[in-house]
Amino acid sequence: MNSEITELLKKDKFNIDDLTAIVKILRSENGCPWDKVQTHSSIKKDFLEEVYEVMEAIDCDSPEMMQEELGDVLLQVVFHSVIETERGNFGLDEVITDICKKLIIRHPHVFGSVNADNVDKVLENWDNIKKETKGQETYTDTLKSVPKNFPALMRAQKLGKRASRAGLDFASAETAYGSLESEVKEMGSVLCENDKQKAAKQLGEIMFSCVNIARKLGLDAEEVLSEVNGRFIDRFERAENNIRQDGLDMTALSIDELDAYWQKAKK
């Protein structure tokens, strides 16, 4: 056992340097067989899962859970940084330096002489500085910069928001709803054609219209659908429990019988 590991084992409290050292040990020649072979691509979904678990901890209002999950996210940041250190590209210090510089540059009202006495002005300055530092010359550039890997609802809402900065937007939630009605009506015609590709395209238009309504109402489409998902599970559970109490098997019931239980569960 080398001296670095011996010193780590003596500690009761650790810092970011210790975490980096542990990851480097795990990826070393005598380290962990699993950790040694991981790449950015092989663990990228783990990163996303850890972020979602932090979000769940926030929703649960659990400090203990949040502390643990934030640690898992931090591990991902360090792990990816160590991989790039091995390649001679950058390390955690460079990552931290970049974000510190970004925060200073994008807060000229705090670290400079720019005046921004309300949230709207802060966001306006942030967007302008972001466009300048990222070399975004057109509004289309800002739309293209929204990551394709975002969940589709989240990406749609950001696209709509950025398009609105160029003046391309609905006047209100009511006008956005009018667009939805039009798209739904068109969907009825498409379904008669029995064309799966056209149906998929039109269904996408309907979903995008729904996101625009959420945005105009000041709602987060991703959160709205997540809440509906939760309600669906609750209603399904109530319906299944009612069916079981009646001594029946769900799979043996007709769709009309299942719907009757579903309507009861909704109440």
Query: Residue 56 falls within a domain, yes or no?
Result: yes
Span 198-214, pLDDT tens digits: 999 999 999 999 999 99
Of 79, 105, 131, which residue sits at a domain end?
A: 105
**C-alpha angle with apex 212: 55 to 182, nearest 5 degrees?**
140
Predicted confidence at residue 258, as pLDDT, reads 96
Domain with residue 16: its CATH number is 1.10.287.1080
Predicted confidence at residue 1, as pLDDT, reads 65
Of 80, 105, 130, which residue sits at a domain end?
A: 105
Distances (CA, A) of 155 to 79, 125, 150, 190, 194: 27, 22, 6, 26, 29
Closest to 263 in 3D by CA, of 225, 235, 231: 235
Exposed / middle / buried, residue 239 (Cβ in 10 Å: 0-12, 13-18, 19+) = buried
Query: Residue 191 falls within a domain, yes or no?
Result: no
Q: How many domains does the chain have?
A: 2
Closest to 83 in 3D by CA, of 35, 127, 47, 122: 35
pTM: 0.70
Predicted confidence at residue 18, as pLDDT, reads 95
**Position of tokens 């850890």?**
50
Please compute the mean of the pLDDT values over residues 85-95 and round it to a whole number. 97
Query: Residue 93 falls within a domain, yes or no?
Result: yes
Range of the domain at 26: 3-105
Query: Residue 184 falls within a domain, yes or no?
Result: no
Query: Residue 213 falls within a domain, yes or no?
Result: no
Query: Residue 203 falls within a domain, yes or no?
Result: no
Of 105, 120, 135, which residue sits at a domain end?
A: 105
pLDDT band at 189; cut points 50, 70, 90:
very high
Predicted confidence at residue 76, as pLDDT, reads 97
Distances (CA, A) of 43 to 39, 72, 83: 6, 12, 11
Query: Residue 245 falls within a domain, yes or no?
Result: yes
- Mean pLDDT, all residues of the chain: 93
Query: Residue 262 falls within a domain, yes or no?
Result: yes
